[in-house]
Chain A
Amino acid sequence: MDMNQYLDVFVEESKEHLQSLNTSLLELEKDPNNITVLNEIFRVAHTLKGMAGTMGFSHMTNLTHDMENVLDALRSKRIKADMAVVDILFKCLDALEGYVNEVISTGGEGEQEYKEIIKSLTDILDKSPNTKTQIKKKKAKKKTEDNSIAQNDKELRLNLNIYDKNVILKAIEESMNVFQIHVELDKKCLLKAARAFLIFQTLDKYSEIMKSMPSVEDIEDERFDNSFTVMVITKHDASLFEKELNSVAEVRNVEVVSITEKHTENIIQGEDDEEYLKEEKPDTAASDSMAQAQKTGTIKRLTNKTVRVDIDRLDVLMNLVSELIIIKTRLDDVGTGEKTNDYITALENLERITTSLHDAVMKVRMVPVENVFNRFPRMVRDISKELEKDIVLYMSGEETELDRTVIDEIGEPLIHIIRNSADHGLEKPEERAAKGKSKTGSIWLRAYQDGNNVVIEVEDDGMGIDVEKVRKKIIERGFEEEEAAANMTANEVIGYLFEPNFSTADTVTDLSGRGVGLDVVKTKIEALGGTIELETEFGKGSKTIIRLPLTLAIIQALLVMVGSEKYAIPLSSIREINNIYPDDIKNVRNQEVILLRDMVIPIIRLHDILGVPPEKADQKQLTCVVVKKGDKLSGFIVDSLIGQQEIVIKSLGKLLAGIRCVAGATILGDGNVALIIDVNSIA
C-alpha cells in the first residue's frame, strides 16, 4: 500500500502531537499527580500509536504501545510518576522525535528499535507493586477485605453488587447459566478494541452480557491492559464459550467460571452498596476529570480551529494585495486634476478597505513566537541537569507575532544564546551562594513589539562579561594593538565577541566555547534584516537584545530627496523633522553632532552614506530627519522632503539582498522605484 501521500500529513500531525507531549511531560514533572495531564499524555500517545500503526511503522508502534502501558499504570496509580519514570518518558519522547525525523529524511521509520528504552519501560512495569502477573492476587485480596466475598475470590474478578446479585439469582431461577468469562489478549495485539469488539460480538451471539470490567466504554477506548472480564447469562454451557472465544485470533487465554448462588451469598445489602458506591466514586472522579479534560480538550480544539495552507499560496495572496495597494496609490496621483467630493470619498473608502485587507493578509503570515519559545523550557531543563546548575526560565510575550519565515530562522540563534547564558553566564549554585545570589539562576526570555520591530531579549543574572578579560584576549589574539584596544569603549570590546573564532572560554565544553557560535548568530539575524546587541554588567548578568523587522509590510514612509534620487524612510523610525542651520552642526571627536533640546545627536549625511552625487552646494537651511533606533537618536541630513506615503516594501531580490543601507525598494505612483533606507544599519 502506498503510504507516501500520507507521509506529509503524518509528519505534520506527529510534530504537533510531540510538541503537546513535550509540554504535558513538563507539566507532569512539576505536578506528578495531575490526572488531567496524565490523561492528555495517554491520549496523545494513543493517537500516535494509531497513526504509526496506520503508516506501518512497527517500531514506533511498539514503542508507543509500551509507553501506553506505563502511562496506564500511572493513571491507575499502580506506579508513581517519580523522576526516573518522567525521565524515561522524556527519553521515549526523544525516540519518537527521532522516528519522525527519520521519516522526514528517508520516508521510513528506520531500523532503530530503542531496545534500551523499551527495556526501561518494561522494568518500570515489573517493578511496580501491582504488575499484571500479581494483579490477580492483589485484586482478589482486595475483594476479600472489602467485598467480604469468601474463599472463591480468586475466581471472582468482578465486583458484584446487590443489583447484580438479583439478576444472577433470577437467572439461576430460570435455569440459565451465569458465567464469568475472563479473556486475556495476546501481548502483541495491537488493535485491542477491535479484538474486544469481536469477542463481544461473539458473546452476544450466545448470551447476554450483563456486566463487564472494565466498562464497555473503557474497552471501546482501549483503556485496559490485555484482559477484561465479563459476566454473561446464557442458556449455553461453558465449553461453547471456551471454544468460540479461543478461536478468535490473538486471544491468549479464556477462563470461564460458573457463577452460582454460592458466589452471591456474601453480597450483603448496604456494605456492598457502599462498596458499589465506593467503586463508582473513583470511577466518577476519574470520569469527571476525564470529562474536564475532554472539555478543556474541546475548548482548546475550538480555539485552535485551523486550516493548513501552503505557504506559497499565502505568498501569492500577499503579492496580490501589495499590487492592489500600489495601484491604489496610483489612483491617488492620477485624480489630481478633477477631484470632486465623490471621488475623494470613494478613494478614502478604497483606502480603508485596502488597509484592512492588507492587515488581514499580514496576520495570516504572522505566527506567534510561542511556536519557537515552547521548546525552550525542556531545553533549559536538560541543560541545567547536564551542567548541574539550578536554572529557571521565565518567558513573557509569547503571543508576539512574527512572520513565518522569520520564525523558522530565529530558533537556532536563540538556542545558542540561551545555551551561552546557561553555560558561560550562570554560575554553579555554590558560586552563586558565595556571591550572595540565590542558588537558582534565572534566564528571562521576553518578546515585544517596538515600533516597526519585534524585540526579543534574553537576560540572565549570571556573572556578566568581564570586559577587561575580553580586551586582553583581543590583544592576545592579535585583533588589535595594545593601544588601540585600550582606547576601545566597552561596547566596542563586547562587539568583538561577535567576531568569528573569538572566544574567552578557557576550556571548550560540549555546549559552547569554540568561538564559532556568536558570529553565526549575528550573521543569521542580520540576514533576516535584524540587529543584535549585548549589554552586560560584570557580576550582575547580561542581556542580549535582538531586533527583527516586521518584514513584508506595507508601511507608512516619508519620501525624501537626496540629491536627485528619491528615498523612503519608514515613518515608524522617525521621531521628528527639523530645519537646522549648517552652523548648528558641531564637531565632537570627528563626529558631526547637533544639539537638540539638550540632547547631543550624531548627524549622518545621507549623501555620503549612499554615495549620491551632491546637487546643491551651500544651502542656507538643512533638513534633518531625526530617527530613532531603540533609544538611540540620529539625524539624517536630506535635501528636501516630498511627503508621507503608504508604500509597499518590495524585496530587492536575491542578488542584491545583502546590501546594508537599503532595506528594500518600493514602486511609486509614477512607476519609478524608490529605495527604502534601512535605518537600523545606518544609525
Chain B
Amino acid sequence: MEAEKKQFVVFCLDTEEYGADINKVTIIERSMNITRVPMTPPYIKGVINLRGEIIPVMSLRLKLGLNEIDEDDDTRIIIFNVDNVTFGVIVDSVSEVMQFEDIQIEGVGNIISDKALDYISGVAKAKEKLVTIINLEKLIAELMPA
C-alpha cells in the first residue's frame, strides 16, 4: 500500500535541521538588502524587493528564540506563500529536499514544553537524522490581521 509521501525542503539553523512543506515554497533566494521597517516585532527584519514585489522577511533564529549570527555565503531567504500571504524566512543554509511518509512524522506534544513548540508540527526521522517540521501558518499567525 502506497503511504502518503510528502516532500520537504530541509534547511539548517546552527546544527539543527528543519523542514517545511515544499508546496508552500515559492523560491529560495540568496541573502539581499533588507530595508528595516519600524514598529515591528524584533524577529521581523524588514522588507525586500523581490522583482517588484515588497515581501516581509523574518529571522527564523529570532523567532525560535535563538541568537542572531552574521550572515555568510550560505545564508538563504526562503520565500513561502501561505494562504495567499507571501513572506520570507532567513535561514543559515538550505541542504536538500527530502521525502517523508506520514508515519515517519511524530508529534512532539509530550517531549518538550517550550514556547518554540507552537511552531513545530512534528519531528521526522530519516537515516538517523531528526528533522523538525515547521508549522508555517503558526509562524505568521500573530501578524495576520484579525
Chain A positions near chain B (C-beta within 8 angstroms): 322-323, 326, 565, 609-612, 650-662, 665, 667, 671-675
Q: Tell me the bound Cα distance from A671 to B37 in angstroms.
A: 17
Chain B's closest residue to A664 (CB) is B54
Contact B54–A655 (Cβ < 8 Å) = no
Chain B's closest residue to A671 (CB) is B49
Among the 9-residue stretches B4-12, B39-47, B68-76, B130-138, the one with 4 or more Cβ atoms under 8 Å from chain A is B39-47
From the candidates B33, B44, B53, name the one contacting A656 in the complex (CB within 8 A): B44
Chain B, interface size category, equals 20 to 34
With A653-B85, A655-B56, A655-B144 given, is the CB distance from A673 to B49 under 8 Å?
yes
Q: Tell me the bound Cα distance from A654 to B48 in angstroms.
A: 15
The reply on B35 being an interface residue by CB < 8 A is yes
From the candidates A612, A655, A672, name the one contacting B38 in the complex (CB within 8 A): A612
**What's the minimum C-beta distance from A205 to chain B, rounded to whole angstroms?**
65
Chain A residues whose CB sits within 8 angstroms of the CB of B85 once the complex forms: 653-655
Q: Which chain B residues in 1-59 approach chain A with CB under 8 Å?
A: 33, 35-40, 44, 46-49, 52-56
Q: Tell me the bound Cα distance from A673 to B38 in angstroms.
A: 13
Contact B35–A652 (Cβ < 8 Å) = no
With A662-B38, A667-B49, A672-B35 given, is the CB distance from A651 to B87 under 8 Å?
no
**What's the minimum C-beta distance from B37 to chain A, rounded to whole angstroms?**
6
Report whether over half of chain B's contact residues are helix, strand or loop; otherwise say mixed.
strand
Contact B56–A659 (Cβ < 8 Å) = no
Beyond A654-B85, A673-B46, 13 extra complex contacts between A and B, CB < 8 Å: A650-B54, A653-B47, A653-B56, A653-B86, A653-B87, A655-B143, A658-B145, A659-B38, A659-B40, A662-B38, A665-B47, A671-B33, A673-B48
The reply on B140 being an interface residue by CB < 8 A is yes
With A652-B54, A652-B56 given, is the CB distance from A674 to B35 under 8 Å?
yes
Chain B positions near chain A (C-beta within 8 angstroms): 33, 35-40, 44, 46-49, 52-56, 85-87, 140, 143-145
Contact B49–A656 (Cβ < 8 Å) = no
Q: Tell me the bound Cα distance from A672 to B48 in angstroms.
A: 8
Chain A residues whose CB sits within 8 angstroms of the CB of B144 once the complex forms: 654-655
Contact B35–A675 (Cβ < 8 Å) = yes
**What's the minimum C-beta distance from A181 to chain B, rounded to whole angstroms?**
67
**What's the minimum C-beta distance from A40 to chain B, rounded to whole angstroms?**
44
Contact B38–A610 (Cβ < 8 Å) = yes
Chain A residues whose CB sits within 8 angstroms of the CB of B86 once the complex forms: 653
Q: Tell me the bound Cα distance from A237 to B140 in angstroms.
A: 87
In order of increasing CB-CB distance, the 8 nearest A-B pairs are A673-B35, A610-B38, A655-B143, A611-B38, A650-B54, A665-B54, A655-B56, A667-B49
In the complex, 6 of the A-B residue pairs with CB atoms within 8 angstroms, ordered by the A residue number, are A612-B38, A652-B56, A656-B44, A657-B145, A662-B38, A675-B37
From the candidates A323, A661, A667, name the one contacting B54 in the complex (CB within 8 A): A667
Chain B residues whose CB sits within 8 angstroms of the CB of A672 once the complex forms: 33, 35, 49
Contact B39–A661 (Cβ < 8 Å) = yes
Q: Tell me the bound Cα distance from A672 to B54 in angstroms.
A: 10
Chain A residues whose CB sits within 8 angstroms of the CB of B56 once the complex forms: 652-653, 655-656
Q: Tell me the bound Cα distance from A335 to B7 in angstroms.
A: 47
Chain B's closest residue to A653 (CB) is B56
Q: Tell me the bound Cα distance from A609 to B48 in angstroms.
A: 22
